[in-house]
């Protein structure tokens, strides 16, 4: 007949405990890394080079004009939040 020793039970219990701890730790790291919000705030920017007004999501405070491809800083006063030229 199959006999179970105390050592075997202790080993089994320890293995299950370590598995549960690892499972929750990995799950916590995954949810923490995926919960960071992506920068999706769009700003209206007027290109100081060609005057084109475009909406862009700044990355490190910089955007690229779709027309002349110049790189513009978002915090430049002349290029920020101006109404269209029309």
**Interface residues toward Zn ion, by CB under 5 A:** 47, 49-50, 52, 65, 67-68
CB-nearer residue toward Zn ion: 21 or 68: 68
Q: What are phi and psi of 31, to 5 degrees?
A: -70, -30
Q: Where are the alpha helices (DSSP H) in the chain?
A: 6-34
CB-nearer residue toward Zn ion: 40 or 51: 51
Question: Beta strand pairing status for 43-46 and 71-73?
Answer: unpaired
- How far apart are CB 54 and Zn ion at their closest, in Å? 8
- How far apart are CB 66 and Zn ion at their closest, in Å? 8
- How far apart are CB 40 and Zn ion at their closest, in Å? 23
Q: How far is C-alpha 37 from the chain's CA centre?
A: 5
CB-nearer residue toward Zn ion: 14 or 70: 70
Beta bridge partners of 64: 71
């Amino acid at each position: 007949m199959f006999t179970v020793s105390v050592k075997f039970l202790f080993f089994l219990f320890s293995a299950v405990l370590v598995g549960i701890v690892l499972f929750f730790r990995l799950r916590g790291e995954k949810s923490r890394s995926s919960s960071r919000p992506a920068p999706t705030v769009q700003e209206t920017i007027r290109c100081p080079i060609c005057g084109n007004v475009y909406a862009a999501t700044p990355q490190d405070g910089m955007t690229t004009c779709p027309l002349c491809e110049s790189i513009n800083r978002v915090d430049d006063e002349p290029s920020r939040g101006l109404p269209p030229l029309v």
